[in-house]
Chains A and B, each alone.
Chain A
């Protein structure tokens, strides 16, 4: 598992726990984000925590007009916009 993916999974678990939800042990690629127990507010909080953890917000960097629907798409956006060094 990539470092980025494991950081993302960890932040998902934190936010799930904070909202009183059972934290999933496994996040498959085809998991629909809004069916993971996280609502759009939780999802927004995840993006801000990841910016603090990883140092970038791909949604600000990216020029394509898309929103990720699945966990796999979410991770791949972060992987694509990771700083080169």
Chain B
């Protein structure tokens, strides 16, 4: 079991505890040591960051070294750090800053005032880490984490973790990316951050040239790396999968390519933090996880198959725009539906029916509305169909009106979907049937 991290209570403390010359951050410009990062952050605190004491600061993720220095500069000084991707749309950024009450914005080495109204300075509370959720439904929400809630399951350094060099393939402004960065710091590992985590053709050669031996990615991204032949460029000791449920094939592909590596799939959400992880090489998770509390966390499956999580200490909260879907006994509804087969539980998908196409979410109702507007369509059901390459594809089952040629209707449905929907939302399968089955509650079966 991971040891709780009681020794360090901030990012600054972690880096100050490292030897001055310890390599911490690898970028296209080479390695930067703990001492260099700490000294640069000190410089900022004495200079332009002095006015950030006790305030909530909006930090745009920019160039990797600047990001580290900015995080270190703000950690322990600001009341909150709101993280956003540098490519975030201006209107979304303004909304985030209003919601989080972030009055100052740091973009690379520039500090500006935001449009959020001036508010009370809070110099007493520990820094909160404010992260956008992936927005399963509607607009992203902001979740404020404490250092404890963010690092709850992270492992204290061991001889093995100290030898790890993580590659970052996630957005560092999101929960998963921050987990990789902070786990690398807590584990006294090193981390390689590419200029653009989306650009695999540049990131993977950079990782390979800097000796990356640990990587965390979604199952969709791992499949993409496999098909692009990029797995062959890496020699990994640790491969972790998260963000989506891992299927047996991708776990087997990784085991075959990296026979001696620890391959772990992680269940986590921005709201609850990391739930649990499984390293036995099999899809799903064992029933035995339910029998004992897992580092302050308990699991339960509701009668309808929804996975519920309960944390002994719940420090994170939505800052606005909602609250955790939690019942009076403290159980949080994860929205994930599971099914028990033998002594394991397997993920079936989201309770909302949302389909994950290669990491992009599709809401069936959006596709159904487009299809229903096509002449000749009487009823439609949109659902996900398992696919070995992208996890799932969109499928549509249609009831045509009498006297309509299904071939013509199908062509029009596809044409309308191509015109009005994003590419991953367009059904890859269209089939016709006489009627659409409804569940006992009158809802369409997903």
CB-CB under 8 A for A67 and B423, given A44-B358, A47-B387: no
Contacts of B256 in A (CB 8 A): 65-66
Complex Cα spacing A6 to B389, Å: 22
Tell whether, in the assembled complex, residue A48 and residue B388 are in contact, meaning their CB atoms are under 8 Å apart.
no
Interchain CB contact under 8 A, A44 and B390: yes
Knowing A65-B256, A67-B253, the reply to whether A40 touches B424 (Cβ < 8 A) is no
Q: Find chain B residues with CB under 8 A from A65 CB.
A: 249, 252-253, 255-256
**Contact residues in B for A32 (Cβ distance below 8 Å):** 228-229
Q: For B385, give the chain A residue with the smallest CB separation.
A: A48
A60 within 8 Å of B (CB atoms): yes
Q: Does B227 lie within 8 Å of A34, measured CB to CB?
A: yes
Assembly CA distance A30 to B249 (angstroms)? 24
Q: Which residues of A from 42 to 66 have beta carbons under 8 Å from B?
A: 43-45, 47-48, 57, 59-60, 65-66
Q: Which residues of B contact A67 (CB under 8 A)?
A: 223, 226-227, 253
Report Cα–Cα, A32/B227, bound state, in Å: 9
What residues of chain B lie closer than 8 Å to A59, measured between beta carbons?
Answer: 249, 388-389
Q: Which residues of A contact B388 (CB under 8 A)?
A: 44, 47, 57, 59-60
Q: Which of A21-45 contact B (CB under 8 A)?
A: 32-34, 40-41, 43-45
**Residues 220-268 of B at the A interface (beta carbon under 8 Å):** 220, 223-224, 226-229, 249, 252-253, 255-256
Smallest beta-carbon distance A19→chain B, Å: 8
Complex Cα distance A60/B166, Å? 32
Q: Which B residues touch A41, using CB under 8 A?
A: 357-358, 390, 423-424
B290 contacts the other chain (CB 8 A): no
Smallest Cβ-Cβ distance to A67: which chain B residue: B226
Q: Which of B249, B253, B358, B385 contacts A40 (CB 8 A)?
A: B358
CB distance from A39 to the nearest CB of B (A): 9
B393 within 8 A of A: yes
Q: Is A17 in contact with chain B by the CB < 8 A criterion?
A: no
Q: Hey, which chain A residues are within 8 Å of B224, CB to CB?
A: 34, 40
A42 to chain B, nearest CB (A): 9
B-side residues, CB < 8 A to A, are 220, 223-224, 226-229, 249, 252-253, 255-256, 357-358, 385, 387-390, 393, 423-424, 428-429
Sample (7) of A-B pairs whose CB atoms are under 8 Å apart: A32-B228, A32-B229, A40-B358, A44-B358, A48-B393, A48-B428, A69-B229
Measured CB to CB, the residues of A under 8 A from B are 19, 32-34, 40-41, 43-45, 47-48, 57, 59-60, 65-70
